[in-house]
Amino acid sequence: MKISTILDHIDSGHMALPEFQRGYVWNRDQVRSLFDSLYKRHPVGGLLVWATESKTAAHRGGGDLAPGVVKLLLDGQQRMTSLYGVVRGKPPKFFDGNIQTFTGLQYHLETETFAFYQPLKMKDDPLWVDVTDLMKKGTTGLGEYVAKMSAIPAYTAKVGDYVGRLSRLLGITDVALNIEEVTGNDKTLDIVVDIFNKVNSGGTKLSKGDLALAKICAEWPEARSTMKTKLHEWNSAGYYFNLDWFLRSINTVITGEAKFQYLHDKNADEIKAGLVKAVKHVDTSLNMISGRLGLDHDQVFFGRFGVPVMVRYLDQHKGTMDEKERDKLLFWFAQAGMWGRFSGSTESYIDQDLGALEGDDGGLDKLLDQLRLWHGGSLRVEAGHFTGWSLGARFYPVLYLLTRMGEAKDWGTGLPLKANLLGKMSRLEVHHIFPKAQLYKRDYSRMEVNALANFCFLTKDTNLDISATPPEKYFPEVERNHPGALASQWIPMDEKLWKLENFRDFLETRKTLLAEEVNKRMQDLLHGDTRWLAGPSVAAPATTTISSGIASQEEEEQFEALNEWMETKSLPRGILAYDFSDAQTGEQKAVFDLAWPNGIQQELSQPVAILVNENAEVFAVASQSGFRCFTSVADFQTYVKNEILVGENGV
């Protein structure tokens, strides 16, 4: 079927998008590549559709479906959305994404290449053709371009070539795409989703949550947008949750179960009521976790799948708890995150924890007994648990929790860094107690330089003031100006340990102090009922070395200079030593030297990582996760200049 006919079918409601499909996720690079392939008449793949009765078809968007049999796109959404957006100059009715992704596509008559509009580069160059403008005007537009080029002496001799190229560009809509159909009365939503997942085996499969949400939207079409609105609010507050996570909390409120299958027989009114309750209880949970534990942003929000359990507990108790009950629930949440309770079979563990809350003997004590049994011993922390390194380590949030819960003070002002006084993480910075520059000079490994025990949190101004000064020089001044400020951040007060040559001894001593502080704070949450902290502790696991990240001070200075260069071009800074972790479990996969995980043009260009002197394993992790990788700063800057910079500066 011709592309033009498929676009007409989308307009008439004969073709649409099934409700279970995710939104539009392509970036400009992919749109440009699609049109380049179609222009060259290279294969771009066929479409797979589900032919079903329109009266029973749950579809995305507000448009009406045509009567009779309609075709719902199972495979080809990204391509057809991109084609529709460029050819029609507007998104289709089922669109859910960033419209700028396909806005302003240009074609160069001489080089026969595609690029997105860059004012400084294209404004006065008649060889650039607006693809959408040409597509909408058709042969009339072709005539206008021919007339314009014929009037310019420098291009008169090439008008014939240009006519052929413009005709070929217009002919993209005449390209035929093969369409395969899934038909038959036996094709239920479950079967079709299974087919979809098999077809998209190379991409992101639909989750059980997607299927559950599709069935909900069949009866309550506004469900997805209602949930996304609330997710955006949490996003604005610094917490980045997804639909699956939110739906899990709704599920626990309504059914007391983790598995989404229990939602399938619930009607729209039950779902709406459950959503209202879930929102209220999630907000309460976040306020407690932020206000009491100080975990006030996404990077330190470990154990997020503990929240659906908290939501169930709050709903059981009508949202009311006394102080001891609240703190015991928070003790469970912190401990579940600390030991990675939900890093494995998330759904199974949530179900186990929900089960511990049910029945006459259910409740927080049973929930904690279950956690201790699963952990294999006392929930006390030992010094070895702080052996991890970098911001991706599981105990990094614990260090932040200690700073926000305890008596930690800023070394420049002497003011406390408590949660209710400071606000969001953007006002705190990670500080290397022993400066990186000094340690790299003495050939310490990057794991030692970035050890958790070498981290503390300070205000930005204080961090800048200390800079690369060694502790043996700036510690005495801090102690003189603000007595007790060093000890408040669990700094060993033996001055011999402040010397660079004793750095490793400093780390070991501070790990012990940190472990003691964690146990003290956990005891405070239990208000004297410390049975879960009694008995033998579980030994810390062996440290897993991830051979990645910045290897030297020279490399770091190179990346810092690049970030400064980006700022001079009004472009965003990259994240230095970016910890790439599993989105669900938080498990660290690798450390990228410098990264833009959302792209330099957020949502319009793919994620980017600079990996200097890294091994093949790190490149594989980055590439498989959709990052465009560069092995040198120079190559990256060339990319920015050629594909990003002009367009950004012209916005």
CA angle 386, 388, 390 (to 5 degrees): 120
415 SS3 class? coil
Q: Highest mean pLDDT range out of 65-79, 162-176, 217-231, 340-354?
A: 162-176
Does residue 403 belong to any structural domain of this protein?
yes
Residue 289 carries which side chain, given as an amino acid letter? I
How sure is the predictor about 549, in pLDDT bands with cuts at 50, 70 and 90? low
Q: Are residues 413 and 366 in the same domain?
A: no
In this prediction, residue 589 carries a pLDDT of 73
- Which helix (H) or strand (E) segment holds residue 114: the answer is strand 114-116
Q: Are residues 124 and 242 in the same domain?
A: no
**Looking at 30-34, 50-54, 109-113, 627-631, which range is the least confident one?**
50-54
Report in angstroms the alpha-carbon separations of 194 from 182, 375, 402. Answer: 12, 36, 46
User: Closest by alpha carbon to 221, among 93, 319, 342?
Assistant: 93
Q: How far apart, in whole angstroms, are the C-alpha atoms of residue 377 and residue 536? A: 6
* pLDDT tens digit sequence for 294-304: 998 887 888 89
Contacting residues for 82 by C-beta, under 8 A, at least 6 apart: 26, 30, 31, 34, 101, 102
In this prediction, residue 603 carries a pLDDT of 52
Contacting residues for 343 by C-beta, under 8 A, at least 6 apart: 585, 586, 587
* Number of structural domains found in the chain: 4
In this prediction, residue 610 carries a pLDDT of 93
Q: Are residues 512 and 391 in the same domain?
A: yes
Q: Are residues 521 and 560 in the same domain?
A: no
Does residue 539 belong to any structural domain of this protein?
no
Contact 16, 57 (CB under 8 A): yes
Query: For residue 298, what are the domain limits?
Result: 221-372
Q: Are residues 356 and 395 in the same domain?
A: no
How sure is the predictor about 621, in pLDDT bands with cuts at 50, 70 and 90? confident
For helices 323-338 and 396-405, the axis angle rounded to 10 degrees is 150
Handedness of CA 589, 592, 598, 604 (dihedral sign): negative
Whether residue 643 has pLDDT greater than 80: no
Mean pLDDT in residue range 401-428: 77
Q: How far apart, in whole angstroms, are the C-alpha atoms of residue 386 and residue 388? A: 5
Q: Are residues 122 and 141 in the same domain?
A: yes
* pLDDT tens digit sequence for 467-482: 889 999 999 999 999 9
Does residue 76 belong to any structural domain of this protein?
yes
Does residue 543 belong to any structural domain of this protein?
no
Domain boundary among 502, 533, 564: 533
Q: Are residues 90 and 49 in the same domain?
A: yes
Q: Are residues 148 and 237 in the same domain?
A: no
* pLDDT tens digit sequence for 115-133: 999 888 888 899 999 999 9
In this prediction, residue 648 carries a pLDDT of 34
In this prediction, residue 288 carries a pLDDT of 96
Q: Are residues 49 and 158 in the same domain?
A: yes
Q: How far apart, in whole angstroms, are the C-alpha atoms of residue 636 and residue 511? A: 39
385 φψ region: left (φ > 0), alpha (ψ -120 to 50), beta (else): alpha
Mean pLDDT in residue range 255-262: 86
Contact 577, 593 (CB under 8 A): yes
In this prediction, residue 582 carries a pLDDT of 62
Mean pLDDT of the chain: 86
pLDDT over 90, % of the chain: 48
- Structure tokens belonging to residue 286: 């976040």
Q: Are residues 165 and 31 in the same domain?
A: yes
Does residue 205 belong to any structural domain of this protein?
no
* pLDDT tens digit sequence for 19-50: 767 778 788 888 999 999 999 999 998 888 88
In terms of DSSP bridges, do strands 47-53 and 179-182 run parallel, antiparallel, or are they unpaired? parallel
Q: Are residues 399 and 511 in the same domain?
A: yes
How sure is the predictor about 427, in pLDDT bands with cuts at 50, 70 and 90? low
In this prediction, residue 419 carries a pLDDT of 59
Whether residue 425 has pLDDT greater than 70: no
Q: Give me the phi and psi of 419, to 5 degrees please.
A: -60, -45
Does residue 11 belong to any structural domain of this protein?
yes
* pLDDT tens digit sequence for 185-242: 666 666 766 666 666 544 445 566 776 777 787 678 788 889 989 999 998 888 888 8
- Biggest alpha carbon distance in the chain? 91
Q: How far apart, in whole angstroms, are the C-alpha atoms of residue 591 and residue 452? A: 15
Q: Give me the phi and psi of 2, to 5 degrees please.
A: -65, 150
Q: Which own/partner pairs from 532-537 qualify as long-range (CB within 8 Å, at least 24 positions apart)?
A: 532/331, 532/335, 532/368, 532/369, 532/371, 532/372, 532/378, 532/379, 533/378, 533/379, 533/380, 534/378, 535/377, 535/378, 536/377, 536/378, 537/377, 537/378, 537/380, 537/381, 537/382
Mean pLDDT in residue range 327-351: 89
Adjacent-strand bridge partners of 115: 106
Place of tokens 């092995």: 631
Does residue 597 belong to any structural domain of this protein?
yes
Domain boundary among 498, 533, 568: 533
Does residue 198 belong to any structural domain of this protein?
no
Q: For residue 481, how far is the Cα from the chain centroid?
A: 41
Q: Are residues 412 and 341 in the same domain?
A: no
For helices 208-219 and 189-199, the axis angle rounded to 10 degrees is 140
In this prediction, residue 584 carries a pLDDT of 47
427 SS3 class? helix
Q: Which own/partner pairs from 373-377 qualify as long-range (CB within 8 Å, at least 24 positions apart)?
A: 374/341, 374/349, 375/335, 375/339, 375/538, 376/538, 377/535, 377/536, 377/537, 377/538
- Structure tokens belonging to residue 54: 């329109």
Q: What is the 3-state secondary structure (H, E, C) of 259-275?
A: CHHHHCCCCHHHHHHHH
Domain boundary among 504, 533, 562: 533
* pLDDT tens digit sequence for 585-613: 445 677 788 888 878 875 566 889 999 88
Contact 22, 50 (CB under 8 A): no
Q: Give me the phi and psi of 107, to 5 degrees please.
A: -125, 135
Mean pLDDT in residue range 561-579: 81
E strand map for 397-445: 428-432
